[in-house]
Amino acid sequence: MDKFDFICRPKMSWLTVNRQCNFRCPWCYGEDTHYEPKDTMSLAMAKELTRINLDVGVRYTNIIGGEPTLWPSLFEFNEYCRQVGMSTCLVTNAARFGDDSFWDAYRQSPSDEVSVSVKTVDRDEFKFITKSRLFDQTMRGIERAIGFHSAGASTVYNSLVGLDGLKRIALRCKELGASYFVVDLCTPVVSKDGVLPGFSIEPTQLAKDIMVIQPYLDELYDGKVEIAIYIPLCLFPEAFVELMMEKRQLTTICHVYDRSGLNFDVNGDVMVCNQLFDSYIARKATDYEDGTDLMKQINSKAVRNDYRQLLRYPADTCSDCRWNLDCRGGCLLNWVLYDSSICHAVAKANA
């Protein structure tokens, strides 16, 4: 079966429980959501969406924001999910974990997993990037989260941090006990002014940077590395791609492309993704009330046709590439800014 038949078969979900954040990272989509404290999911809504998730077969949900440790219902929601059999992953900057009183409360009602997002490990750079003075508290929180959950760490690679900064982050996270390391790539920023470069890196340069950093990360973490390469695989030498696939260090398509996830906004509306936070495919109460309604809506002919257009290949040559199902041309946001003619078909191995 072609997994790109544009039918949604959800395996996990994302609950955007708030838009409030204690950081102001310049590459974040949160800038255009204005970090509004009032944009918060009610506990009742979170429970209802969890029941809907379970009804459609989803047993794993990511708790995201904003910064979800600022969500007042976090602990009660974690307990509820434990009762009903929903596994949770908290995606956090870990700053609040460095606060002793919050940390003591969290340990009593923790999420099942955490995904710790590290912005920088340099004190001066931290203040510049996050517009926050919480460096010491955040570093303490990162160490606590990693130790308590036996977790790894992740970071967003962007032009502001650069390769040297990425190496410093990876090394410091390893020293703090991270068991694995994930690199997400900064994409162009969607704002009220359109799609802007933000702190994304041009795809051909990005491919070169990844080839530089991969051996370092591979050795540092004994192979326990994942790089979310949301750019065309044809920009890399074939041998490099094959090595990364063999090591299982390569993520090339997100839940948008294989339609494997459900992304809920604070009011229960289903978004395409958080980067496209105002693009909805199902409105709560209007398009759906339960799991049956939801699946009918998101797999309707109209929505599938929208995805067929949204996820079309960036270049005609992509259809003849041996890796087209593994990459699908990379993140669609790239092609609003960059020239898709950089794509080329990679011939089949036995051709």
Q: How is the chain split into domains, by residue range? A: 12-312
Segment holding 246, helix H or strand E: helix 238-247
- In the block, tokens 């078969």 appear at 9
- The DSSP H or E segment spanning 156 is strand 153-157
pLDDT for residue 26: 87
Instruction: Please tell me the predicted confidence (pLDDT) of residue 2.
Output: 42
Instruction: Write out residues in the chain with pLDDT < 50, as ranges.
Output: 1-3, 351
Q: What is the per-residue pLDDT across 265-308, written as a single tens digit (0 to 9) for each? A: 999 999 998 877 778 999 999 999 999 999 999 999 999 999 99
How many CB atoms lie under 10 A from the CB of residue 44? 9
Cis peptide before 66 (omega within 30 of 0): yes
Angle 279-281-283 from CA coordinates, rounded to 5°: 100
| The pLDDT value given to residue 1 | 36
Query: How far from 19 is each of 23, 27, 64, 132, 272, CA to CA, in Å?
Result: 11, 15, 9, 17, 17
Q: Pairing relation of β-strands 189-191 and 153-157?
A: unpaired
| pLDDT tens track for 9-54 | 999 999 999 999 999 998 887 777 778 899 999 999 999 999 999 9
Tokens of 283: 């409105």
Which residues, 6 or more positions from 312, have their beta carbon under 8 angstroms from its beta carbon?
A: none
pTM of the model: 0.94
pLDDT at 110 (0 to 100): 98
pLDDT value of residue 197? 63
Tell me the residue type at 203.
P
Which residues, in sequence order, are CB contacts of 280 under 8 Å at separation 6+?
265, 269, 270, 271, 272
Contacts for 56 with CB less than 8 Å, ≥ 6 apart: 10, 262, 291, 294, 295
Which pLDDT score is estimated for 325?
A: 84
- CATH number (3.30.365.10, 3.20.20.70, 1.10.12.10, 3.90.120.10) of 12-312 reads 3.20.20.70
Q: What's residue 138's pLDDT?
A: 98
Rounded Cα distance between 113 and 89, Å, is 5
Strand order in the sheet with 261-264: 113-116, 87-92, 60-64, 12-16, 261-264, 270-271, 280-282
